[in-house]
Structures are given as structure tokens and as C-alpha cells.
Amino acid sequence: MKEQNQSRVIKFDYIARVEGEGSFYVKMKDNKVEESRLKIFEPPRFFEGFLKKRSFREVPDITARICGICPVAYQMSSVHAMEKICGFKAHPTVRALRRLLYCGEWIESHSLHTFMLHAPDFLGYPDVITMAKDHREWVERALTLKKTGNDIVNILGGREIHPINVKVGGFYRYPQPSDFAELRKRLEEAQEIAHAATKWMAGLEFPDYEFDYEYVAMSHPEEYPMNEGRLISNRNLDIDVKDYEKHFTEEHMYYSTTLHTSLDKDKVIYTGPLARFNLNYDRLSKEAKKLAKEVHLKPICNNPFKSILVRMIETFYACQEAIKIIDGYEYPEDINDEVVPKAGKGEAVTEAPRGILFHRYEIDDEGLVVSARIVAPTSHNQKVIEDDLRRLVEKYQSLNDELLTERCEQAIRNYDPCISCSTHFLKLEIDRG
């Protein structure tokens, strides 16, 4: 038996309950990981290529198609970058509505992930359908919560998925205050659901695992970050988004079709809800901070498995923020939202539900795209996911194959990676040779 344990090869052929197809390979010797690879084999999607020579006004609609769960993030990063190039400053009403739209995306995305994809891990179910047999009330409440977020996107974006009402400069159609009347009532219910769900999730059993990560997120002096701010970390990074490419580099790994992003050439970073919470705790509402305290979630949390709690606290906050924006909204009778193209380059970073999303464009004087670069949250998190899996395999190597597979899948879902649409099982193969 001792001889068998000297060499162990683990292959996860499929990663369940994430967007897309991928696998994980790890080779161990003498109880230490010698080699680990998180392999993504989705085909290239070429968005950056076919944006070329398209009008800058088309970019928000095209980039929204990159993701069906977080299309708003892609639209917001693109419109901010384009407006920066053209020297355009959005009207305060537009800025508020964009934040409201982002609230909708956070609500729908976080509720989908926490209840449908991640909660079954903690409760020992293979999927949410099975979980619903014993927790029907929570699944129904989750659907109510998600629908509320979808409805915000629908009102402002023109439809729930791949919204079409966003344009560079503002919106094609501005809602009437009356359009929000029913939604506001439901947001109060959604806020209550998020509050109760945070308390419920705090009772889950969290694996004993912490690590001293370098967290990276946006930071804004006056608000919890969504659309604007500087890029900061807990280890002295503090830069304007225009300097992103001076500090962040992408590397192609021979075993994966995705690019791995590093900070200052070799630093592994962690981005997403846990990073936002740790770096921007003081920007949360007093009610959200009180809720975090009630579930014993401290401002610096280094356990990625507790990201499920942070996502629900962000959902609670987003409901609050949406209500505040709706209460202050007045229909803009006279608004200048027409943007005149100007040749130049521009960058933007916004906070997608899963973390920072970078866009950089160059357009000519006719407004046609010369070049584009998009770095998604999953690209930023690829390395840290891979490192977490390596550390967890060493920590929990005494588990049998089935339990070790479940633990690693759960760790991947801490990050809710957007790979693409996925199957719902993970195949494990171990060579104890």
C-alpha cells in the first residue's frame, strides 16, 4: 500500500456545474504534487477579431453576446472604454442607470450561482433538482430572487439576456419612473430573501482551508465598485485602469486554450466577490456590514469556500442599491447622449459578478474598430484556481477518489468560472502505478 501511494495521477475529465468544458490533471509523488494542470479545451471564440472594422456603436451589442449570464459587464466595459476614447462624460442619470443595470446582473448571477451551482456541494446533493426535494422553499425563493435581477436587466436592457438597449453614451430608450413601481416592491422582497439566505448559508459546513492570496479589485472613493474606480490589491497595487497593460500580462499555456493572467509577470491574483469584499468592505452599506458581522464574516476572509456568503451579501447590497437608485430616478427630459467618434485608444475595467473585466479598444476617426482586447474574469483567476486545486489535493489526499473529486469540484465553483455551458458531471481517473 505504501508503494502504491508513492505515485498518484489524478485526471478530472469534466468539471461539473460551470460554464464550459475543462479538466484537471495532477501528478503526485511521495504525497507531494509534482505537476498540476487545469486544462480548458473550449475552441477560440474570435470576438476580438471580428470586432475589427465594426462601428464603435455596435460594440456593446456584440460584446454582450460573449456571455449569457453576465452580458451587462461586457457592455459596460465596452461603453466606458469607447467614451474614454471620444472624451465623452456620461450624464449623471445615465451613470445611475448603468449602476442599476449592474445591480440587476449581480442579483441574477449571484443567486443562480449560490443556490443552483454551489449550494448543492455544501449540502451533499449532485444537483439543484435533487436538492429541491428537501429544500423546495429555498429553491423557489432563489428563483424569485433571480427573476428580480432579470427584470431589472429587462427594463433597462430591453430583454433579460444579451440586452439591446445599451448604447455608447447612454440608452436608446429611457424608462419612465412608473416602469419601476412594481419592481421596487419586489426588490424589497428580494432584499429580505437575500438577508435570510445569508443567514441560512452561514450554517453550512465550510472546509478548513485558507491561503494568503493577493486580491485584486476595483476601488472607488465613494461607493462599492461596479463601473468605475482604480485597480488595487492588498499588496500595494494602486493604478489607473489606463496602466492595466503595464502590470497585467497574459500567457498561453500549452495544455489550455485559455490565457493565464499574471500581475507584474509572475504574481498569482484572486479576483471576484471575495476580493471586492476584502478590499472594499468599508464601502458597503451599514446594513450589509451588519449582516456580514452577524454571520461572522470578517473584512479579511481568506477562505475561498466562504465566497458563497460574500456573494449573497453582495446580492443583499445590490437590492438595497437598486432601491436607492429607483427612488432617486427622474426621467431625463433633455439629455445629450450622442457620442462623436474620435480616433484614439481607450481602456476600461468593470466588476463583473466573477471579477475584473478589462476592455481596450482603438478606433479610427470614423469610429471603426482598429483593434480590441478583452480579458475576462476567468482568465484572471485561472492560475489561482489551478493553485488551489494543487494545494487541496495535497491537503485532502487521504480522501477516497469520489470525495476528493467532489472537494476539487467545489473549489472550482468557489470562483464560478465562465468557461462556457457545461455538462453536469466530472469523471475521475486515478493511476496509482
Lookup: cell for 111: 443567486
For the ranges 11-15, 299-303, 310-314, 347-351, which has the lowest average pLDDT?
11-15
Amino acid identity, position 128? V
For the ranges 56-70, 193-207, 233-247, which has the lowest average pLDDT?
56-70
In order of 222, 228, 238, 244, 372, the CA distances from 347 in angstroms are 21, 12, 16, 8, 10
Which pLDDT does position 6 carry in this prediction? 55
Residue with cell 433571480: 146
| pLDDT category of residue 246 using cuts at 50, 70 and 90 | very high
What CATH number does the domain located at 47-380 have?
1.10.645.10
pLDDT at 421 over 50: no
As a whole number of angstroms, the distance between CA 170 and CA 396 comes to 51
- Whole-prediction pTM: 0.91
Q: Work out the number of other CB atoms within 10 angstroms of the CB of residue 144.
A: 14
Chain segment 281-322, per-residue pLDDT in tens = 999 999 999 999 999 998 899 999 999 999 999 999 999 999
- Tell me the CA end-to-end span of the chain in Å, nearest whole number: 11
| pLDDT category of residue 1 using cuts at 50, 70 and 90 | very low
Average per-residue pLDDT for the chain: 89
pLDDT at 183 over 80: yes
Q: Answer positive or negative: Cα dihedral of 125, 187, 157, 280.
A: negative
Which pLDDT does position 232 carry in this prediction? 98
Query: Please, which residues have CB within 8 angstroms of residue 126's CB and are 6 or more apart in sequence?
Result: 120, 424
Q: Work out the number of other CB atoms within 10 angstroms of the CB of residue 61.
A: 18
Phi and psi angles of residue 229, each rounded to the nearest 5 degrees, phi first: 140, -170
Query: Please, which residues have CB within 8 angstroms of residue 208's CB and are 6 or more apart in sequence?
Result: none
8 Å CB contact between 103 and 224: no
Of all residues in the chain, the percent with pLDDT exceeding 90 is 71
Of 91 and 378, the one with more pLDDT? 91
| pLDDT category of residue 402 using cuts at 50, 70 and 90 | confident
Of 45 and 144, the one with more pLDDT? 144
Of 377 and 3, the one with more pLDDT? 377
pLDDT at 431 over 80: no
As a whole number of angstroms, the distance between CA 330 and CA 40 comes to 46
User: What DSSP assignment string belongs to 121-160?
Assistant: HHHT-SSHHHHHHH-HHHHHHHHHHHHHHHHHHHHHHSSS
| pLDDT category of residue 427 using cuts at 50, 70 and 90 | very low
Chain segment 20-53, per-residue pLDDT in tens = 566 777 777 777 887 777 777 666 677 888 899 9
Domain boundaries, the chain: 47-380
As a whole number of angstroms, the distance between CA 40 and CA 21 comes to 6
As a whole number of angstroms, the distance between CA 409 and CA 118 comes to 10
- Burial code (b: 16+ CB inside 10 Å, e: under 16) for 256-265 equals bebbbbbbee
For the ranges 7-11, 21-25, 336-340, 415-419, which has the lowest average pLDDT?
7-11
Residue 348, classed as helix, strand or coil, is: strand
For range 224-251, the mean pLDDT: 96
Query: Please, which residues have CB within 8 angstroms of residue 270's CB and are 6 or more apart in sequence?
Result: 213, 214, 215, 216, 304, 381, 384
For range 375-400, the mean pLDDT: 88
